[in-house]
Structure 1
Amino acid sequence: MYNLLEKAADRLARGTALLGGIVLLAVIAMTCASITGRALMPIGLGPVPGDFEWIELGVGFAIFAFLPWCHLQQAHARVDLFQPVFPPVMNKILDFVADIAMFAAASIIAWRLWLGLLDKQRYGETTFILQFPIWIAYAACLFGAVALVIVVAFCILRTGRSLFAAEKA
Structure 2
Amino acid sequence: MNNENTNSAFQLDRLDHVLTWLSALPVALIVVLTFADVFWRYVFSSPIRGNLEMIEYAMALVIFTALPRVTRQRGHVTVSLIEGLVKGQAQRIKTVLCDVISAFALGILTWRLGLQGLEDLNAGASTVVLNLSHAPLSFVLTAFAGLSTLVVLMQIWKSLNKESAPS
Q: Same fold (TM over 0.5)?
A: yes
One-letter amino acid of the structure 2 residue matched with residue 38 of structure 1: R
User: Quick one: distance in 2 between partners of 1:17 and 1:121?
Assistant: 29
User: Quick one: distance in 2 between partners of 1:111 and 1:55?
Assistant: 25
Aligned residues: 163
TM-score w.r.t. structure 1 length? 0.86
Give the share of equivalent positions with the same residue, in percent. Answer: 23
Change (3 A) 1:112 1:8: farther
Greater mean alpha carbon deviation, residues 54-63 or residues 134-143: 134-143
User: Quick one: distance in 2 between partners of 1:78 and 1:19?
Assistant: 25
Stretches of structure 1 that go unaligned for 5 or more consecutive residues are none
User: Quick one: distance in 2 between partners of 1:155 and 1:18?
Assistant: 23
Residue equivalent to 1:117: 117
Superposed CA deviations along residues 29-59 of structure 1, whole A, max 9, x for unmatched, are 11111111111125xxx32211110111011
One-letter amino acid of the structure 1 residue matched with residue 132 of structure 2: F
Q: Is residue 127–residue 134 contact of structure 1 (8 Å, CA) maintained in 2?
A: yes
User: Quick one: distance in 2 between partners of 1:68 and 1:164?
Assistant: 18
Residue equivalent to 2:89: 89
One-letter amino acid of the structure 2 residue matched with residue 128 of structure 1: V
TM-score w.r.t. structure 2 length? 0.87
1:80-159 matched pairs, under 5 angstroms: 80-159=80-159
Which of 33, 37, 40 does residue 34 from structure 1 map onto?
37
Residue equivalent to 1:21: 24
Change (3 A) 1:85 1:59: same
Superposed CA deviations along residues 54-81 of structure 1, whole A, max 9, x for unmatched, are 1110110110111111111111111112
RMSD value, Cα:
2.1
Superposed CA deviations along residues 82-104 of structure 1, whole A, max 9, x for unmatched, are 11121222111111111111111
Greater RCO (CA < 8 Å, at least 6 residues apart)? 1
One-letter amino acid of the structure 2 residue matched with residue 104 of structure 1: F
Stretches of structure 2 that go unaligned for 5 or more consecutive residues are none
Q: Secondary structure at the match of 2:131?
A: coil
User: Quick one: distance in 2 between partners of 1:110 and 1:116?
Assistant: 10
Q: Which runs of 4+ in 1 moved over 6 A?
A: 163-166
